[in-house]
């Protein structure tokens, strides 16, 4: 299985073509293999399980069966730590706010990167790619907009009077 993504796509196509009975069959097979994988991981020392989880295919199977030794939030946090140097090059940062009930990660951008639209798009894409690579079970990445910065009141000098009579008339004070 050289191309895992292609294999996954082909399985999905076949299930769609065959209908409900195929879905039931795939569900039962996933359940069976998940139980077997659970028994195998239960026999492994923790450091060996960590090593296996680092493999893309095995790690994704562990995630699928909720057996991965590193929690989703910890993997998301690690992914964000990995992109922080890149974010720093855009004079920004990111704050992890949490994981929604529907599986979406919530973040808030920090620093000056949030002021530049093209920089913001680039930063968001980098963050999203890193998160989804580390935690494919995440359903999406939601960027919470920062609170608007208060505008500073600028005190300007009074414009010069056009006519000294304006002072007497009370037109300008």
Q: What is the pLDDT of residue 166?
A: 55
What is the structure's pLDDT at 90? 65
In a domain, 121, yes or no: yes
> Which H helix or E strand runs over 41?
helix 20-43
Q: According to the model, what pLDDT value does residue 39 have?
A: 95
In a domain, 168, yes or no: no
Output Rg (C-alpha) for the chain, integer angstroms.
Answer: 28
CA distance 155 to 171: 21
Q: What is the DSSP letter of 171?
A: S
- Where would I find the beta strands (DSSP E) of 34-103? 92-99
Q: Cα-Cα-Cα-Cα dihedral of 123, 134, 97, 83, to 10°? A: -30
Give domain status of residue 93, yes or no.
yes
Q: What is the pLDDT of residue 167?
A: 57
For 46, residues 6+ apart whose C-beta sits below 8 A from its C-beta are 69
Q: Are residues 58 and 95 in the same domain?
A: no
Q: What is the pLDDT of residues 16-49, one digit of tens each?
A: 888 878 888 888 999 999 999 999 999 999 899 9
In a domain, 60, yes or no: yes
Kindly tell me if the per-residue pLDDT of 161 is higher than 70: no
* 166 falls within a domain: no
pLDDT beyond 90 at 111: no
Q: Is residue 157 part of a domain?
A: no
According to DSSP, residue 114 is labeled G
On whether both 60 and 82 belong to a single domain, the answer is: no
**Does 87 reside within a domain?**
yes
**pLDDT at residue number 42:** 93
**Per-residue model confidence as pLDDT tens digits over 42-74:** 999 989 999 999 988 899 899 999 999 999 999
At 158 the pLDDT is: 73
- Decide if pLDDT at 172 tops 70: no
User: When comparing pLDDT for 66 and 156, which is higher?
Assistant: 66
Residue corresponding to tokens 């968001």: 124
The structural domain count of the chain equals: 2
Quick check: 173 pLDDT over 60? no
Last residue of a domain, one of 32, 64, 96: 64
The CA distance from 24 to 31, in Å, is 11
Q: Are 18 and 79 part of one and the same domain?
A: no
- Say which residue, 112 or 121, is predicted with more confidence: 121
Which structural domain range is residue 140 located in? Answer: 72-144
- What is the CATH number for 93? 3.30.300.130
* Each residue's pLDDT tens digit, 75-98: 999 999 998 888 777 667 888 999
pLDDT at 112: 58
Query: Do residues 136 and 89 share a domain?
Result: yes
Same domain, 77 and 124: yes
Q: Are residues 30 and 83 in the same domain?
A: no
- Position 129 in a domain: yes
Residue where one domain finishes, among candidates 64, 90, 107: 64
> Are 37 and 61 within 8 A, CB to CB?
yes
């Amino acid at each position: 299985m050289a191309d895992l993504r292609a294999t996954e796509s082909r399985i999905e196509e076949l299930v769609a073509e065959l209908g409900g009975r195929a879905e039931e069959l795939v569900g039962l097979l996933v359940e069976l293999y998940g139980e077997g994988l659970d028994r195998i991981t239960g026999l492994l020392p923790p450091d060996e399980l960590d090593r296996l989880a680092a493999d893309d295919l095995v790690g994704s199977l562990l995630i699928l069966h909720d057996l991965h030794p590193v929690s989703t939030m910890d993997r998301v946090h690690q992914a964000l730590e990995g992109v922080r140097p890149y974010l720093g090059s855009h004079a920004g940062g990111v704050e992890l706010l949490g994981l929604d009930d529907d599986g979406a990660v919530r973040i808030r951008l920090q620093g000056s990167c949030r002021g530049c639209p093209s920089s913001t798009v680039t930063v968001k894409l980098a963050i999203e790619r890193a998160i989804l690579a580390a935690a494919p079970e995440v359903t999406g990445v939601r960027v919470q907009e920062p609170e608007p910065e208060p505008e500073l009141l600028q005190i300007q000098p009074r414009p010069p009077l056009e006519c000294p009579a304006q002072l007497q008339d009370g037109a300008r004070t």
